[in-house]
Amino acid sequence: MGRIILRLDRVMADRKISLKELSEKVGISNVNLSKMKTGKISAIRFSTLAAICDVLNCQPGDILEYDPDGVEEDSQ
């Protein structure tokens, strides 16, 4: 089964925005946003995704990528 890869770190780097700044503008805690940035989440609310896209001026597809050959790494 494939997996979804979060590319939030890449989009943030392209936009030159820090985790702290994005956190404040979106209204999400630094901890939760950090988990999102590192891909350590299993779900995201559409409202959160929309807020991130609004602040970063991007599309959801800029942040989310589907890897059809991906295998879950946290199977321990």
Per residue in 14-46, pLDDT tens? Answer: 999 999 999 999 999 999 999 998 889 989 999
Q: Is residue 70 part of a domain?
A: no
Number of domains in the chain: 1
Q: Does residue 7 contact residue 65 with C-beta atoms inside 8 Å? A: yes
pTM here is 0.84
Q: Is residue 74 part of a domain?
A: no
* Pick from 47, 48, 62, 54: nearest CA to 9: 62
Measured distance CA(74)–CA(76) in Å, rounded: 6
Measured between alpha carbons, how far is residue 68 from residues 3, 7, 34 in Å? 6, 16, 25
Look up the CATH number of the domain holding residue 54. 1.10.260.40
Quote the domain boundaries for residue 22. Answer: 3-65
Q: Is residue 73 part of a domain?
A: no
Q: Is residue 71 part of a domain?
A: no
Q: Is residue 75 part of a domain?
A: no
